[in-house]
Structure 1
Amino acid sequence: MSEQVSQVPVEHFNPQPREVWSNPYPWYQRYRSLDPVHWTLAAERGDAGVWYVFRYEDALAIRAHPCLSRKYRHDRLAEQEIPPAMKPYSDKLRHWMVEMDAPHHTRLRSLTTKHFTSRTVERLRPKLEGLSNYLIDRVLAAGRMDVVGQFAYPMALLTITEMLGMPREDAALFKSWSLTFTAIENRRPTLDLYQRASDAVLEFDAYLKKAIAERRKAPGDDVLSTLVMARNDEQLTDDEVIGTCMLMLFAGHETTVNILGNSVLTLLRNPEQLQLLRAHPELMESAVEDLLRYESPVQSVSNGHASEDFELGGKTIRKGQKVITVFGSANRDPEVFPDPDRLDITRQANRHMAFGMGAHNCLGAPLARLEMRVALETLLRRLPNLRLLSETANWKEGLMLRGLDSLPVAF
């Protein structure tokens, strides 16, 4: 652990500084050991305080806690005067299913689940294999590429736009909106970020309303059609349809990009594990799981606000206080994962939290796993001499999502 980390007072965890989000694991180790259920009032956060949960055991307990509400914050915001720049984005955010409690969350999730089962997404394998080979063909002659910009982004983006039923030629629009939503969710919110996010929401809203009208006339076999054509008790408002699609774009695109970039970087930094995977491709399934654990694409997620007082890890969480689970720390907890700071592609019984836990676990996990397997299989097969062009990792700013801005490699 660095000297700088050891001098940080335990009462002030702040994920905003570069030295934290560029390498959060020594910080996680410190708080996991000294104050695993941790209250911070760090001024730099720009909020009234928040609880961070660092240990696996506590994270597991909190994910399904009945005293935590996702909609509490939105109910409070509805009672307040908020700046006009915040309103369009905040209004749409409350229609994301991850921001809802049961039974509304259950209703929305049940409509989309059928598109993301392991059996359903497996049908996409031929298309994913064709897409990954096409992306490599485009850069093969150059002998180098940016894994993030030239491989991970187009693969994830084209996959999620196809599942939503959107035309490929609109992929650039979807990427722009997704990057804007990512910026405000992953960084300290400012009025400028809120304004950009609100502008993007209004554009996305107008685009989706046209698509919704088209699906009502001629539905297809895509997620948007399923949402639009729901009937009776399951029937959705346009705002619910648009909010769900907005969440799928953000979660299904940005998270997968991070998974692919993080995995390639991790394997290239662990050449003995990469060599083992090349020699034993049957280890791909366990390799995928430990890559997800080792550099989780989602490092921390809000569990909502306490609807009443309750106890966790010897601390009292008061009504109205916000609780954040730090998955990145839970996935390095030595009480659950022996030698947690080592990548081990043979690791078994890997109960990581890369996709969350409980009712709000990631709906798109089967698709993300399939994209990850196909991408890695194709890269390892077609680029046997893959190597990093820089030892410095270009991490994105922020600690909710962990991913790379770019990953230059040669082959």
Structure 2
Amino acid sequence: MKNTITDGKSCPVHTNSTCPYTRQSHVIVNFEDPSFTNNPELKFQELRNSNSIHQITLDDNFPIWLISTYDDAVSVLRDSRFIKSPDNLRRHNHEASKGKTKRNSPTYILRRLHMLANDPPQHTRLRNFAQKVFTKKVFSELQLKIQQITNELIDNIERKKEFDLIDDFAYPLPIIIIADLLGLPNEDREKLRNWSDILIEVQITEKNKQLIDETSEAFTAYLKKIFALRRKNPGEDIISAFLKLEETNDHMSENELYSMIYLLILAGHETTVNLIGNGIHALLSHPEQLHLLKNNPHLIHSAIEEMLRYNGPMLASTMRLAAEDIHMKGATIKKGDGILILFSSANQDETKFDDSLRFDITRKSNKHLAFGHGIHFCIGAPLARLECEIAINTILKRLPNLRFNPEINMPEWRTSTIIRGLKNFPVVFG
């Protein structure tokens, strides 16, 4: 997904007849460029300083507007004219209209029926189901479990001289927790990871369509078997709790439940993997802040909020659509156009945060947007914070000399329009 280029002049990359991108802005944004993924801050600063919103266009001519400032982000997140469900537009949804996602296919069911992909009243109904099982009591009771798993992972790490913080720690911790919450077998964790890596893709293209469809079908078939087992032998897990609601008049359909579990697995581990990885990366990149936290462990809560703000787990929001023509900052967002809110940019807005590009674990009044804002605020935020707190506290105590591996290149960032996280993170601790 790119935006290439500029002020009505000809594109320096393509001829006018072949350029697949709209020329709306003098700021060039290429989400696939390593120079962007390695250091998006400067590009986001350009976007904010232009005092405008910016349009990019996908290869199939679907226009998307980028929202880069904090105030604009909050405004869009509060505005009911920006919707999540394409079905609420008079035209068919973009993917379906292109023949990419057939209604009632496993891919459509997983991607379109969960609460994050819907608007009120359907969103409200689905979120209420989630809130019935994701209670504060559930989260608080997880503390000992998270600490136990964290210690076990570090026990394994201590047998090595070096390790990858993502593969050996940041990834397995949340996937073990979410699988345990859902009552999924331990031996299925690697399969869940592989499926998640494929299904997290935001845009369905001709290149990835078959793989996403096949994975969606396999994942749905897997859940169907799990549901059948839980109906016969319910447990204390969240899937059993959702299925128990079938005894009442108010419950989710089978397809809605597939989609809900899909969302919980992706959101339940993806956010935390990146929060832990990005957070430790920020600490190692700022030794004075790392030293401050080691000597003042009571700062862990403000440190986590600063990690969420400074380099949070989500680069941008999931897609919203304009339900009508909307005028904003001199531009007209047309009905059906897509909107991406750049959380990472909004969280570094210099008009909202003093010295916004500085990582400061003592920062006060840190009202970041890392977990969103408004009706779609992340329901799993308390769990992500708890896992991160336990993970980082334990690492600092048990691996106090943790540092970048000097013999390996710096960690590589993932290429994504939505996710902000590391592919790998080689470290040493001896």
TM-score by length of 1: 0.92
Q: Which of 96, 120, 123 is the matching residue for 1:105?
A: 123
Instruction: For 1:205, give the aligned amino acid.
Output: T
Cα distance, 1:233 vs. partner?
4.7
Shift of 1:81: 5.7
CA contact (8 A) 2:109 2:256 kept: no
- Residue type at the aligned position of 1:161: A
C-alpha distance in 1 between matches for 2:263 and 2:231: 21
Return the match for 2:259 from 211, 218, 243: 243
1:80 match: 97
| Kept after mapping to 2: 8 A contact 1:115/1:121 | no
- Give the CA deviation at 1:256: 1.2
2:48 to 29, 32, 35: 32
Partner residue of 2:64? Answer: 50
Q: How does 1:3-402 map to 2 (within 5 A)?
A: 10=26, 12-41=28-57, 45-72=59-86, 76-77=92-93, 80=97, 82-83=99-100, 88-182=106-200, 184-185=201-202, 189-231=204-246, 232-390=248-406, 392-402=410-420
Residue 55 of structure 2 contacts residue 63 of structure 2 at CA under 8 Å; is this kept in 1? yes
Shift of 1:346: 0.5
Higher helix share: 1
TM-fit CA distance, 1:317: 2.0
User: Structure 1 CA distance, aligned partners of 2:113 and 2:284?
Assistant: 40
Q: 1:144 to 1:113 in 2, by over 3 A?
A: same
- 2:21 paired residue number: none
1:2-43 CA distance string (max 9 Å, x none): xx99999526533232222221111100011104422223x6
Greater RCO (Cα-Cα under 8 Å, separation 6 or more): 1
| Matches of 1:394 and 1:79, distance apart in 2 | 34
Moved more, 359-368 or 103-112: 103-112
SS in 2 for 1:208: helix
Answer with 120-129 or 240-249: which moved more: 120-129
Counterpart-to-counterpart distance in 2, 1:303 and 1:102: 16
- Take 2:395 and 2:211, find their aligned partners in 1: how far apart are those partners? 36
CA distance in 2, matches of 1:272, 1:256: 24
SS at match of 2:171: helix
Mean Cα displacement is larger for which, 225-234 or 162-171?
A: 225-234
The Cα offsets for residues 258-307 of structure 1, whole Å up to 9 and x where unpaired, read as: 11111111100000000000000000000000011111111111352111
Q: Which amino acid aligns with 1:53?
A: I
Is the CA contact 1:178–1:253 (under 8 Å) kept in the aligned structure 2?
A: no
Tell me how far 1:90 sits from its aligned partner: 3.0
**How many angstroms apart in 1 are the aligned matches of 2:134 and 2:259?**
18
Q: What 5-or-longer segments of structure 1 have no aligned partner?
A: none
Q: How many residues align?
A: 403
Distance 1:141 1:198 in 2: 40
Return the letter of the residue paired with 1:110: N
What residue is the counterpart of 2:15 in the other structure?
A: none
Matched residue SS, 2:62: coil
Match in the other structure for 2:17: none
Query: Counterpart of 2:232 in structure 1: which amino acid?
Result: K
Structure 1 residues 46, 297: closer, same or farther in 2, change over 3 A? Answer: farther
Mark the CA change 1:233 to 1:67 in structure 2 (over 3 Å): closer, same or farther. farther
Q: Secondary structure at the match of 1:122?
A: helix
Conserved? CA contact 1:304–1:322, under 8 Å:
yes
Do the aligned residues in 2 keep the contact of 1:111 with 1:226 (CA within 8 Å)? no
Check the 8 A contact 1:74/1:94 in 2, yes or no.
no
CA RMSD of aligned residues (A): 2.4
Write the letter of the residue equivalent to 1:209. K
Mapped partners of 2:77, 2:360: distance in 1 = 26
Structure 1 segments, 4+ long, off by >6 Å, are 4-8
User: SS where residue 363 of structure 1 aligns?
Assistant: coil
TM-superposed CA distance for 1:72, in Å, is 1.7
Q: TM-score, normalised by structure 2?
A: 0.88
Is contact 1:63–1:303 with CA below 8 Å preserved after alignment? no
Percentage of pairs with the same residue? 34
**Maintained 8 Å contact 2:199/2:212:** yes
Q: Which moved more, 1:302-311 or 1:368-377?
A: 302-311
Change (3 A) 1:11 1:264: closer
Inter-CA distance 65–92: structure 2 relative to 1 (3 Å threshold): same
Q: How far does residue 174 in structure 1 lie from its aligned partner after superposition?
A: 0.8
